[in-house]
Amino acid sequence: MEFIRREAPYLAPKVDVASMMLQVLVALIPAALAHVWYFGPGFLFNLIIASIFCVGSEALMMRARGRDPRVALADYSALVTAALLAFALPSLTPWWITATGALFAVIVAKHLYGGIGFNIFNPAMAGYVVILVAFPMEMNLWVAPRMGDIDYVNLTVLQTIVYTLSGSLPDTLGFDAISRATPLDAMQSGLRTMRTYAEIRTNPMMGDFGGRGWEWLGNFFAIGGSWLLVKKIIRWQIPAGVFAGLLVPAGLMFIFDPSTNASPGFHLFSGATILCAFFIATDPVSAATSPKGRFIYGVGIGFLIYAIRKWGSFADGVAFAVLIMNMATPAIDYITRPPIVGHKSEGRER
Amino acid sequence: MRAVYRTLPGRLHKHAEPVVSAPTYDLGKLHGGLRLQAHKQMSTAEPIRQVPVPEQLFLPLTQHAGDPAQPVVGIGEHVLKGQLIAECEGTLCAPIHASSSGTIVAIEPWPVSARHGENAPCIVIECDGKDTAIGTDENSPSYDKLVPEDLLGQILLGGITGLGGAVFPTAQKLMQATTCDVEYLILNGVECEPYISCDDALMREYGREVIGGAQILMHALDVDVCYIAVESDKPIAIQHLGEALAEIDDERIVIKMVPTIYPSGGEDQLVQLVTNREVPSGGLPSDVGCLVQNVGTAAAIHNWMIKREPLISRVTTITGDGVATPMNVEARLGTTIADIVRFAGGYTESAEQLIIGGPMTGKSVTSDRVPLVKATNCILVLSQTPSVSPEMPCIRCGDCAAVCPVQLLPQQLFWYTCADDESKMRSHGLIDCIECGCCDLVCPSHIPLTANFRTAKARILEQADEKARAERARHRFEARNDRLERDQLQREEELARQKQAARQAAPDAIAEILKRKQAAADED
């Protein structure tokens, strides 16, 4: 009898990239539903537009690089990029802005570096930073979260579609009527105009830790992120590092002077901290690889988020923090190489 | 189970409290590893069955690590069971004995399951079916009367090799170890690879032989502590060994239960687990005072030294979903896989792959005509593995590094093997890779890392070998040049000396000649 010949090991691998990416997408569902609940259906339109442009440009780039587009599309990584970008955008965003971000993320940040596995920058964050710098006005148009307030105004589904497609609001509503400062904006400008933390906290938009409604989103990201931890899609080092890097300096500063510094709880539950810790910083391709290196990488991101919020000119610093630490990844990997078993006595060869 | 003690790493059991039924657990630390589905129950349900002597036996001359043995029988010669048919040649070798009585019909290349090459010279015996054993020397002294050197010499004659898979000749391994300060003898009954259960079966049924072998080994090495390491998923084997140990009552021997994690049975990994000592890179366990032997090897030593039966059969597992009745069998060395599978009820319809060894490190062969050899611990027949999605670029998830028992960074190493950057491959520990296959199993991009490393390793070792050969050749050449130069110089010196002597002697000689001529003239 004749048999087929293969190389050891003969057991099939247990995981694949596509299922990892799918699980990341699944883990984002609770936060997506919460986002729609608090900020209206705009998120869904952003998600659809981002997905179309991410997947479409991925297919085009694969073809341009002379490869089979189906291989890249089958791993769902373009959809993860689209989803992360959609979470970073205000719920009301004209389609061309979303498209610009998506195209930059996939074409420049991902495929010009060689496609999945070779990109040194997190594609979604690179795309987001480009549109944040290019369209500062639109990117700051955040509607107030739905919290049962009397003066709550948001667009209907139809009005949202019209705005997304044309960028124009209904005649009866101005930007001022629907947009609100984000809690981070309010905190940053408040502290810089010499008001104390306690004073700013009396603003009705503030909740238990961060802004009302906003802080709840964080919980849904945490639920999805915990599920990814349980499923071992992500490891604990990066989220722990991000939290440590952000909360330790925030805590020390808050203890040092509680009137001019926001509390660690405010930092944790504001902006994209929790989204970043579980979903953005944990992108394996652009993160450090060794366990120790990952913790350092996370700490770096957490600290940069704090530094940008405290001393920078942007209200939130997640995207910049991630991109800066992406640059540091090779160095971190180099420094944190684990000692090979059997080489203990002779030290590390380099 | 008074034999089982809880000890701290490196401490002798004498100083520790005996624990009745909880064996020692997890002493040293093993990095990474995998918990794999064991698939062992399917072959351990029944006791070991004896495979009948086949019509023909094919005994490869190289069944061990090292040089091939040299045949001492001719074609047409009749041999008896246990008779020496090939003897040691070279420093690293093990003799081969006839597995049954019969006639030598050929010494020719035949398919084997060795790592390199397909066909290797084999001695083919046409069995006569009588299975007549050669007479043994009844007066051979008991092992404890022998000094270690003589005992090692005896073990060499038994054709004993390691039966765990590496088939290193046991006598040479022991000889090497006697040059070091060995404190612990470790018997490896871990058998961490899925599907394989031959050591489990052997410990269940031949516990006394295993412990007897341990005593012989301890005498040969002059060590006072022997650990028998068994994985925690083999409670029956542990119980049987414990009973055998209680009967023999040798308190130098301790059973240690190690966690069920692949690859805890790797030699260096086991040393780390049991003694918490790290075997240095490129070194041997004896460098840290340990000697590891497979439990099957210990039993084989016992059978040779006590019953005077050389290594002519072994216990092996025949298993997998491609075999009708998976089981453990004891078969004569040289029996073809086809004969053993027939004994186990033949193949099932789904049989697609034949693997000699386990599913993580075994070797797949295309033909079942290959014989059972000393190394064959498992015959695994699998249906085709479910089609996996194609290889993708590495996404740097780092799972490979997390499971690597040697703490390598397989994802980095992969880049360097692709780039063929030898110095980087070396500095990232390619040579330290034990080819366990863990990284392949966790890779979400389905990159065949282990196969990649295996080829790269073979390539750079070959290059290093070539370099060493070239270096030796250069040395030889230079030495020859030096010698020639020296000879030339010597010759020139000699010549000069002779010339000088001649020149000094010349006036006398001329005078002599003249004198003679004068004399002749005078006579005239």
| Residue A237 domain-assigned (yes or no) | yes
State percent of chain B over pLDDT 90: 37
Residues of chain B with C-beta less than 8 angstroms from the C-beta of A333: 412
Same domain, B106 and B247: yes
| Residue B390 domain-assigned (yes or no) | no
pLDDT score recorded for residue B4 = 38
* Cβ–Cβ contact B129 with A under 8 A: no
| Residue A343 domain-assigned (yes or no) | no
* Nearest CB neighbour to B395, from listed A7, A116, A343: A116
> For residue B344, what is the domain's CATH number?
3.10.20.600
Report the chain B residue with the minimal C-alpha distance to residue A74: B389
Average pLDDT, chain B: 86
| Residue B140 domain-assigned (yes or no) | no
Least confident of A276-280, A343-347, B179-183, B234-238: A343-347
In this model, does residue B275 exceed pLDDT 50? yes
- The arithmetic mean of pLDDT across residues B504-508, rounded, is 77
Same domain, A234 and A284: yes
- Our count of domains for chain B comes to 3
| Residue B198 domain-assigned (yes or no) | yes
pLDDT score recorded for residue A347 = 40
Report the chain B residue with the minimal C-alpha distance to residue A288: B396
Q: Do A9 and B442 touch (CB under 8 A)?
A: no
Is residue A40 within 8 A of residue A160, CB to CB? The reply is yes
Q: Do B445 and A20 touch (CB under 8 A)?
A: no
In this model, does residue B3 exceed pLDDT 50? no
Closest CA to B128 of B106, B101, B98: B101
How many contacts does A have with B, using Cβ atoms within 8 A? 175
Partners of residue B57 on adjacent β-strands: B125
Closest CA to B118 of B453, B437, B461, B356: B356
State percent of chain B over pLDDT 70: 92
- Our count of domains for chain A comes to 2
- The arithmetic mean of pLDDT across residues B359-368, rounded, is 89
Least confident of A191-205, B17-31, B80-94, B302-316: B17-31
Q: Do A8 and B368 touch (CB under 8 A)?
A: no
Q: Do A1 and B395 touch (CB under 8 A)?
A: no
- The arithmetic mean of pLDDT across residues B4-33, rounded, is 47
Q: Do A289 and B401 touch (CB under 8 A)?
A: yes
**pLDDT band at residue B139 under the 50/70/90 scheme:** low
| Boundary (domain end) residue, out of B297, B315, B333 | B315
| Boundary (domain end) residue, out of A151, A180, A209 | A180
> For residue B247, what is the domain's CATH number?
3.40.50.11540
In this model, does residue B125 exceed pLDDT 90? yes
List phi, psi (to 5°) of B236: -70, -40
Least confident of A28-42, B58-72, B494-508: B494-508
pLDDT score recorded for residue B1 = 33
- The arithmetic mean of pLDDT across residues B312-335, rounded, is 93
Long-range pairs for B41-45: beta carbons < 8 A, 24 or more residues apart = B42/B319, B42/B326, B43/B195, B43/B197, B43/B201, B43/B317, B43/B318, B43/B319, B43/B326, B43/B327, B43/B328, B44/B197, B44/B200, B44/B201, B44/B204, B44/B328, B45/B327
* Nearest CB neighbour to B352, from listed A4, A9, A116: A4
**Residue of A3, A24, A119 for testing the chain B interface, max B β-carbons within 10 Å:** A3
Residues of chain B with C-beta less than 8 angstroms from the C-beta of A294: 398
Q: Do A116 and B194 touch (CB under 8 A)?
A: no
Is residue B276 within 8 A of residue B184, CB to CB? The reply is no
ipTM of the complex: 0.85
Is residue B186 within 8 A of residue B291, CB to CB? The reply is yes
| Boundary (domain end) residue, out of B383, B416, B439 | B383
* Cβ–Cβ contact B350 with A under 8 A: no
Q: Do A342 and B450 touch (CB under 8 A)?
A: no
| Residue B94 domain-assigned (yes or no) | yes
Same domain, A153 and A228: no
Q: Do A12 and B388 touch (CB under 8 A)?
A: yes
Domain extent at residue A325? 182-335
- The arithmetic mean of pLDDT across residues B430-445, rounded, is 91
* Cβ–Cβ contact B30 with A under 8 A: no
| Residue B270 domain-assigned (yes or no) | yes
Same domain, A171 and A218: no
Nearest-CA distance A219 → chain B (Å): 26
Same domain, A205 and A324: yes
In this model, does residue B20 exceed pLDDT 50? no
Residues of chain B with C-beta less than 8 angstroms from the C-beta of A115: 393
Same domain, B89 and B206: yes
Nearest-CA distance B378 → chain A (Å): 14
Same domain, A151 and A280: no
Q: Do B398 and A74 touch (CB under 8 A)?
A: no
In this model, does residue B11 exceed pLDDT 70? no
Closest CA to A293 of A229, A234, A237, A228: A237
Same domain, A176 and A95: yes
In this model, does residue B492 exceed pLDDT 70? yes
- The arithmetic mean of pLDDT across residues B161-170, rounded, is 87
| Residue B8 domain-assigned (yes or no) | no
Q: How many CB atoms lie within 10 A of CB B163?
A: 28
| Residue B93 domain-assigned (yes or no) | yes
**Mean pLDDT for each 10-residue chunk of chain A (350 residues)?**
82 87 95 92 94 95 90 89 95 94 96 92 96 90 79 79 86 78 88 88 84 88 95 93 96 93 92 94 92 94 95 90 95 90 57
Residues of chain B with C-beta less than 8 angstroms from the C-beta of A10: 353, 355, 359-360, 362, 364, 380, 382, 385
* Nearest CB neighbour to A9, from listed B398, B412, B440: B440
- Run of H or E residues at B342: helix B337-343
| Boundary (domain end) residue, out of B331, B356, B383 | B383
Domain extent at residue B38? 13-134+148-315
Q: Do B406 and A341 touch (CB under 8 A)?
A: yes
| Residue A257 domain-assigned (yes or no) | yes
Least confident of B4-18, B90-104, B255-269: B4-18
Sheet holding B56-60, edge to edge: B56-60, B119-127, B102-111, B78-79
pLDDT score recorded for residue B8 = 34
pLDDT score recorded for residue B366 = 87
> For residues B77 and B344, what is the distance between their CA atoms, to the nearest angstrom?
32
* Cβ–Cβ contact B395 with A under 8 A: yes
Q: Do A9 and B361 touch (CB under 8 A)?
A: yes
Partners of residue B111 on adjacent β-strands: B119
In this model, does residue B300 exceed pLDDT 70? yes
pLDDT score recorded for residue A313 = 85
- DSSP codes, B348-389: -TTEEEEEES-TTT-EEESBTTPBP-TT--EEEEEEPPPPPP
pLDDT score recorded for residue A207 = 82
